[in-house]
Amino acid sequence: MDRCDGFLFLTASSSTGGKASPTPRGTTSPCQASPTLSKSVKPAEVTTGIGSGDRRRYLSEIELCDPDLGYPRVANPTNRSNPRGVCLLINQRDFDSAKTGQERRDGTDVDADNIERTFIRCGYAVNRATNLTLRKMEFLLDDVRSQNHSKYDSFACVILSHGAEGIVYASDGTINVDRLIGYFRSDRCPTLAGKPKMFFIQACRGCKFDKGVTLSTDASSDSVLVTKLPIEADIFVANSTFPGYYAWRNSHAGSWFIQELCKVIKAAQESGRHHDVASLLTVVARKVALLYESNTGQSDSHGSKQMVSVNSTLTRKAFIV
């Protein structure tokens, strides 16, 4: 039986990431400030290595415009003693129903086991945590953020939980997704600056059902300054569903999104071909959209579809295979 990773009820007091207060009258919002002219950028060097072996050189004009330019990678990503990065896996199965109104997420352990195997094969050191309270979740996020990631080429975080638009659930409350991702922004986690930070979130983002639609078919030496990057750069977020909609999970086989994510990564590994994470998620999105349909036996939700949603500020191609 397919189930939703959504919310049963949600009160404003249960969310830790409240909405920003409106700008008082008579004041100027930062977004309304007068724009300034952009400065021309001068040549400078960039970090191209990882860890103590960092090398610095110029990023050429050709590289700047190269759509296939990738992030630097560790020499042997499948070497357990030299992992390519940390994969933080947070699996929320059980909830305090009195505080959250959420029910047990049967099938999520299948997802967690699948993710752990997949990312270990990809060369990541998996840090797995289960059924965290909000306090423990934030402590863990801050602890991983404060670690030295200099020797790694990337970071991955997988969240398996209930959710609603903009939030995911701990066992006793909620955390704003932007706040969660914000722990690993370049200004808060400087050893991950300039490296891809990938988030895969299996959780509902609303209460709408996607009923789908039926298609009708017929038979040089120039260099540029890149030593300073926006703090929001190099972040990749793959959500199991589009904003406002349910995300589906089978109580025996696991969630649609995580099933296909692991299958696609495994297939890429077995093929011996290197594909960047954005290309892999395009395949995941296609398979989830075309191969799955909910089986609930309820008229309002039976036969529903699901569309994976991706947001990216990556400045290069990021490879996990």
Question: How would you classify the pairing of strands 45-47 and 235-239?
Answer: unpaired
Q: Half-sphere exposure (CA, 13 Å, Cβ side) for 208?
A: 12
Query: What are residue 197's phi and psi, to 5 degrees?
Result: -120, 110
Q: Of all helices (H) and strands (E), which one includes residue 309?
A: strand 309-312
Q: Lay out the sheet containing 235-239: strands in order across.
A: 124-130, 85-91, 154-160, 197-202, 235-239, 309-312
Residues 6+ apart with CB under 8 A from 223: 43, 44, 58, 59, 60, 61
Quote the DSSP letter at residue 210.
B
Catalytic residues: 162, 204
Q: Where are the beta strands (DSSP E) in 174-253?
A: 174-176, 197-202, 235-239, 248-250
Q: How far apart are CA 317 and CA 274, in angstroms?
A: 11
Q: How far apart are CA 314 and CA 321, in angstroms?
A: 17
First to last CA, the chain: 32
The CA distances from residue 164 to 147, 222, 228, in Å, are: 30, 47, 35
Query: What are residue 37's phi and psi, to 5 degrees?
Result: -70, 140
Q: How far apart are CA 48 and CA 125, in angstroms?
A: 22
What does 125-136 look like in DSSP terms, one character per residue? EEEEEES--HHH
